[in-house]
Amino acid sequence: MLKIGCHLSVSKGFYEMGKDALKINANTIQFFTRNPRGGKAKEIDEEDVKKFKELAKENNIEVLLAHAPYTLNLCAIDESLREFAKNTMKDDLKRMEYFPGNYYNFHPGSHVKQGVDVGIKYIIEALNEIITPEQKTKVLLETMAGKGSEVGRNFEEIKRIMDGVKLKDHIGVCLDTCHIFDGGYDIVNKLDDVINEFDSIIGLDNLYAIHLNDSMNVLGSHKDRHSKIGEGNIGLDAITRIINHPKLRDLPFFLETPNDLDGYGKEIKILRSLYK
Ligand code: FE
Ligand code: FE
Ligand code: ZN
Protein backbone atom coordinates (compact mmCIF):
# COMPACT_ATOMS: atom_id res chain seq x y z
CA MET A 1 0.00 0.00 0.00
CA LEU A 2 1.16 3.49 -0.85
CA LYS A 3 2.35 5.35 2.22
CA ILE A 4 1.07 8.83 1.65
CA GLY A 5 -0.04 11.76 3.73
CA CYS A 6 0.45 15.45 3.94
CA HIS A 7 1.30 18.34 6.14
CA LEU A 8 -1.31 18.58 8.94
CA SER A 9 -1.83 20.97 11.83
CA VAL A 10 -1.18 19.72 15.36
CA SER A 11 -2.65 22.87 16.95
CA LYS A 12 -5.65 20.93 18.34
CA GLY A 13 -3.44 18.08 19.54
CA PHE A 14 -2.10 14.83 18.13
CA TYR A 15 -5.37 12.92 18.40
CA GLU A 16 -7.27 15.52 16.35
CA MET A 17 -4.44 15.54 13.85
CA GLY A 18 -4.77 11.76 13.56
CA LYS A 19 -8.51 12.11 12.91
CA ASP A 20 -7.78 14.63 10.15
CA ALA A 21 -5.43 12.09 8.57
CA LEU A 22 -8.17 9.45 8.59
CA LYS A 23 -10.64 11.85 6.93
CA ILE A 24 -8.39 12.08 3.89
CA ASN A 25 -7.20 8.46 3.86
CA ALA A 26 -3.63 9.39 4.81
CA ASN A 27 -1.36 6.86 6.49
CA THR A 28 1.62 9.17 7.01
CA ILE A 29 1.61 12.59 8.67
CA GLN A 30 3.95 15.55 8.66
CA PHE A 31 3.53 18.36 11.17
CA PHE A 32 5.42 21.41 12.37
CA THR A 33 6.90 20.93 15.82
CA ARG A 34 5.91 24.52 16.61
CA ASN A 35 4.85 27.61 14.70
CA PRO A 36 6.78 27.35 11.41
CA ARG A 37 8.28 30.76 12.07
CA GLY A 38 9.62 29.64 15.45
CA GLY A 39 8.19 30.37 18.87
CA LYS A 40 7.38 28.12 21.77
CA ALA A 41 6.10 24.57 21.33
CA LYS A 42 2.91 23.45 23.05
CA GLU A 43 3.41 21.27 26.12
CA ILE A 44 3.02 17.57 25.37
CA ASP A 45 -0.25 16.19 26.74
CA GLU A 46 0.49 12.54 27.55
CA GLU A 47 -3.16 11.53 27.39
CA ASP A 48 -3.46 13.08 23.94
CA VAL A 49 -0.32 11.24 22.79
CA LYS A 50 -1.70 7.95 24.10
CA LYS A 51 -5.02 8.42 22.29
CA PHE A 52 -3.20 9.36 19.11
CA LYS A 53 -1.02 6.27 19.28
CA GLU A 54 -4.04 3.99 19.68
CA LEU A 55 -5.77 5.65 16.74
CA ALA A 56 -2.62 5.41 14.63
CA LYS A 57 -2.15 1.73 15.45
CA GLU A 58 -5.76 0.77 14.69
CA ASN A 59 -5.66 2.59 11.38
CA ASN A 60 -2.12 1.77 10.25
CA ILE A 61 -0.82 5.32 10.34
CA GLU A 62 2.81 4.40 10.06
CA VAL A 63 5.16 7.32 9.77
CA LEU A 64 5.34 10.62 11.59
CA LEU A 65 7.61 13.27 10.16
CA ALA A 66 8.15 16.28 12.38
CA HIS A 67 9.31 19.36 10.48
CA ALA A 68 11.51 21.91 12.23
CA PRO A 69 10.50 25.58 11.89
CA TYR A 70 11.91 26.75 8.58
CA THR A 71 13.31 29.92 10.08
CA LEU A 72 15.88 27.95 12.11
CA ASN A 73 19.36 28.44 10.79
CA LEU A 74 22.15 26.29 12.18
CA CYS A 75 24.68 28.25 10.11
CA ALA A 76 23.52 31.82 10.77
CA ILE A 77 26.24 34.47 11.03
CA ASP A 78 25.04 35.58 14.45
CA GLU A 79 26.14 33.18 17.17
CA SER A 80 23.01 33.78 19.23
CA LEU A 81 20.86 32.70 16.27
CA ARG A 82 22.89 29.53 15.89
CA GLU A 83 22.48 28.83 19.60
CA PHE A 84 18.75 29.44 19.35
CA ALA A 85 18.49 27.02 16.44
CA LYS A 86 20.42 24.35 18.32
CA ASN A 87 18.35 24.73 21.48
CA THR A 88 15.11 24.55 19.50
CA MET A 89 16.22 21.38 17.75
CA LYS A 90 17.31 19.79 21.02
CA ASP A 91 13.91 20.58 22.53
CA ASP A 92 12.08 19.24 19.45
CA LEU A 93 14.05 16.00 19.59
CA LYS A 94 13.34 15.60 23.28
CA ARG A 95 9.63 15.85 22.52
CA MET A 96 9.92 13.41 19.61
CA GLU A 97 11.01 10.76 22.12
CA TYR A 98 7.26 10.39 22.80
CA PHE A 99 7.10 8.91 19.29
CA PRO A 100 10.07 6.57 19.02
CA GLY A 101 11.14 5.35 15.60
CA ASN A 102 10.00 8.37 13.62
CA TYR A 103 11.69 11.22 11.76
CA TYR A 104 12.62 14.86 12.25
CA ASN A 105 13.21 16.88 9.10
CA PHE A 106 15.01 20.22 8.85
CA HIS A 107 16.38 22.65 6.28
CA PRO A 108 20.17 22.56 6.63
CA GLY A 109 20.42 26.35 6.70
CA SER A 110 21.51 29.46 4.81
CA HIS A 111 25.13 30.49 4.94
CA VAL A 112 24.22 34.10 4.12
CA LYS A 113 27.53 35.63 2.96
CA GLN A 114 29.86 33.29 4.78
CA GLY A 115 30.17 30.81 1.92
CA VAL A 116 29.10 27.20 1.72
CA ASP A 117 32.20 25.78 3.43
CA VAL A 118 31.62 27.82 6.59
CA GLY A 119 27.92 26.97 6.44
CA ILE A 120 28.58 23.24 6.25
CA LYS A 121 31.11 23.44 9.06
CA TYR A 122 28.58 25.12 11.39
CA ILE A 123 25.84 22.66 10.48
CA ILE A 124 28.10 19.69 11.21
CA GLU A 125 29.24 21.16 14.54
CA ALA A 126 25.64 21.80 15.54
CA LEU A 127 24.43 18.31 14.60
CA ASN A 128 27.27 16.72 16.54
CA GLU A 129 26.17 18.70 19.57
CA ILE A 130 22.45 18.00 19.13
CA ILE A 131 22.30 14.31 18.20
CA THR A 132 22.61 11.88 21.09
CA PRO A 133 23.42 8.15 21.00
CA GLU A 134 20.19 7.29 22.88
CA GLN A 135 17.73 9.15 20.69
CA LYS A 136 15.04 7.14 18.87
CA THR A 137 14.38 9.71 16.15
CA LYS A 138 16.19 9.90 12.85
CA VAL A 139 17.20 13.43 11.84
CA LEU A 140 16.65 14.06 8.13
CA LEU A 141 18.40 16.69 6.04
CA GLU A 142 16.03 18.11 3.44
CA THR A 143 17.30 18.61 -0.12
CA MET A 144 16.92 22.30 -0.96
CA ALA A 145 16.16 24.29 -4.13
CA GLY A 146 19.24 26.48 -3.75
CA LYS A 147 17.32 29.71 -3.24
CA GLY A 148 19.60 32.50 -2.01
CA SER A 149 22.42 30.96 0.00
CA GLU A 150 20.67 27.74 1.02
CA VAL A 151 22.98 24.89 1.94
CA GLY A 152 21.93 21.47 0.64
CA ARG A 153 21.34 22.70 -2.90
CA ASN A 154 22.74 19.52 -4.41
CA PHE A 155 23.44 15.94 -3.37
CA GLU A 156 27.14 16.70 -2.84
CA GLU A 157 26.42 19.33 -0.17
CA ILE A 158 24.05 16.97 1.67
CA LYS A 159 26.70 14.26 1.53
CA ARG A 160 29.37 16.60 2.93
CA ILE A 161 27.16 17.32 5.94
CA MET A 162 26.43 13.63 6.48
CA ASP A 163 30.12 12.80 6.31
CA GLY A 164 30.81 15.16 9.19
CA VAL A 165 28.14 13.76 11.50
CA LYS A 166 29.57 11.29 13.99
CA LEU A 167 26.44 9.37 14.98
CA LYS A 168 25.60 8.19 11.47
CA ASP A 169 22.75 5.89 12.55
CA HIS A 170 20.73 8.94 13.50
CA ILE A 171 21.00 10.92 10.29
CA GLY A 172 19.38 10.55 6.87
CA VAL A 173 17.80 12.45 3.99
CA CYS A 174 14.34 13.65 2.99
CA LEU A 175 14.10 14.35 -0.72
CA ASP A 176 11.76 17.15 -1.81
CA THR A 177 10.67 16.73 -5.45
CA CYS A 178 9.95 20.43 -5.99
CA HIS A 179 13.26 21.43 -4.45
CA ILE A 180 15.46 19.06 -6.46
CA PHE A 181 13.62 19.93 -9.68
CA ASP A 182 14.14 23.63 -8.99
CA GLY A 183 17.70 22.70 -8.04
CA GLY A 184 18.30 21.36 -11.57
CA TYR A 185 17.67 17.60 -11.26
CA ASP A 186 15.51 16.54 -14.20
CA ILE A 187 13.10 14.13 -12.55
CA VAL A 188 10.67 14.61 -15.45
CA ASN A 189 12.84 13.28 -18.27
CA LYS A 190 15.68 11.54 -16.44
CA LEU A 191 14.28 10.09 -13.23
CA ASP A 192 16.49 7.00 -13.34
CA ASP A 193 19.62 9.08 -13.82
CA VAL A 194 18.70 11.31 -10.88
CA ILE A 195 18.01 8.32 -8.63
CA ASN A 196 21.30 6.71 -9.67
CA GLU A 197 23.13 9.96 -8.98
CA PHE A 198 21.53 10.17 -5.55
CA ASP A 199 22.54 6.56 -4.93
CA SER A 200 26.14 7.03 -5.98
CA ILE A 201 26.65 10.25 -3.98
CA ILE A 202 24.47 9.82 -0.89
CA GLY A 203 23.28 6.21 -1.06
CA LEU A 204 19.63 5.23 -1.33
CA ASP A 205 19.88 3.47 2.02
CA ASN A 206 20.08 6.97 3.53
CA LEU A 207 16.80 8.09 1.97
CA TYR A 208 13.90 7.86 4.43
CA ALA A 209 11.15 10.16 3.16
CA ILE A 210 9.93 12.09 0.14
CA HIS A 211 8.20 15.45 0.07
CA LEU A 212 5.94 15.06 -2.95
CA ASN A 213 5.30 18.45 -4.52
CA ASP A 214 4.82 19.82 -8.00
CA SER A 215 6.72 23.01 -8.88
CA MET A 216 5.46 26.38 -10.09
CA ASN A 217 8.82 27.07 -11.67
CA VAL A 218 11.03 25.47 -14.27
CA LEU A 219 13.90 23.03 -13.96
CA GLY A 220 16.93 24.71 -12.37
CA SER A 221 15.06 27.87 -11.38
CA HIS A 222 16.26 27.71 -7.71
CA LYS A 223 12.92 29.20 -6.65
CA ASP A 224 11.05 26.79 -4.30
CA ARG A 225 7.37 27.48 -4.96
CA HIS A 226 5.26 24.35 -4.56
CA SER A 227 2.21 23.76 -6.72
CA LYS A 228 -0.63 21.28 -6.57
CA ILE A 229 0.00 17.81 -7.93
CA GLY A 230 -0.35 17.89 -11.72
CA GLU A 231 -0.60 21.67 -11.93
CA GLY A 232 3.08 22.50 -12.09
CA ASN A 233 6.10 21.88 -14.27
CA ILE A 234 6.77 18.39 -12.92
CA GLY A 235 3.32 17.16 -13.87
CA LEU A 236 1.19 14.14 -13.06
CA ASP A 237 2.97 11.68 -15.38
CA ALA A 238 6.35 12.27 -13.76
CA ILE A 239 4.81 12.18 -10.29
CA THR A 240 3.15 8.85 -11.15
CA ARG A 241 6.55 7.48 -12.16
CA ILE A 242 8.06 8.73 -8.90
CA ILE A 243 5.54 7.03 -6.58
CA ASN A 244 5.77 3.79 -8.57
CA HIS A 245 9.54 3.73 -9.03
CA PRO A 246 10.90 0.43 -7.66
CA LYS A 247 13.56 2.27 -5.65
CA LEU A 248 11.15 4.82 -4.16
CA ARG A 249 7.73 3.15 -3.98
CA ASP A 250 8.07 1.79 -0.44
CA LEU A 251 9.13 5.11 1.08
CA PRO A 252 6.65 7.38 2.88
CA PHE A 253 5.46 10.33 0.77
CA PHE A 254 4.31 13.66 2.22
CA LEU A 255 2.39 16.27 0.24
CA GLU A 256 3.29 19.90 0.92
CA THR A 257 1.13 21.29 -1.83
CA PRO A 258 -0.97 24.46 -1.41
CA ASN A 259 -4.19 22.80 -0.21
CA ASP A 260 -6.76 22.70 2.54
CA LEU A 261 -7.73 19.33 4.02
CA ASP A 262 -10.21 18.55 1.21
CA GLY A 263 -7.65 19.43 -1.42
CA TYR A 264 -5.14 17.08 0.17
CA GLY A 265 -7.81 14.38 0.27
CA LYS A 266 -8.36 14.74 -3.47
CA GLU A 267 -4.65 14.50 -4.24
CA ILE A 268 -4.25 11.44 -2.02
CA LYS A 269 -7.18 9.77 -3.77
CA ILE A 270 -5.70 10.45 -7.22
CA LEU A 271 -2.25 9.24 -6.17
CA ARG A 272 -3.62 6.06 -4.60
CA SER A 273 -5.48 5.31 -7.84
CA LEU A 274 -2.24 5.74 -9.81
CA TYR A 275 -0.17 3.46 -7.54
CA LYS A 276 0.18 0.03 -9.12
FE1 FE B 1 10.78 21.71 4.27
FE1 FE C 1 9.78 20.08 1.65
ZN1 ZN D 1 9.75 24.04 -0.34
Q: Looking at the CA of 67, which ligand is closest?
A: 1
CA of 40 to the centre of ligand 3 (A): 23
CA of 138 to the centre of ligand 3 (A): 20
Query: Which pLDDT tens digits describe the chain residue by residue (276 residues)?
Result: 999 999 999 999 999 999 999 999 999 999 999 887 877 888 899 999 999 999 999 999 999 999 999 999 999 999 999 999 999 999 999 999 999 999 999 999 999 999 999 999 999 999 999 999 999 999 999 999 999 999 999 999 999 999 999 999 999 999 999 999 999 999 999 999 999 999 999 999 999 999 999 999 999 999 999 999 999 999 999 999 999 999 999 999 999 999 999 999 999 999 999 999
CA of 194 to the centre of ligand 1 (A): 20
| Cβ atoms of 213 and 257 closer than 8 Å | yes
Q: Looking at the CA of 224, which ligand is closest?
A: 3
Q: Looking at the CA of 36, which ligand is closest?
A: 1
Give domain limits for the chain.
4-274
Q: Which CATH code, of 3.20.20.150, 3.40.605.10, 3.10.310.70, 3.40.50.300, is assigned to 4-274? A: 3.20.20.150
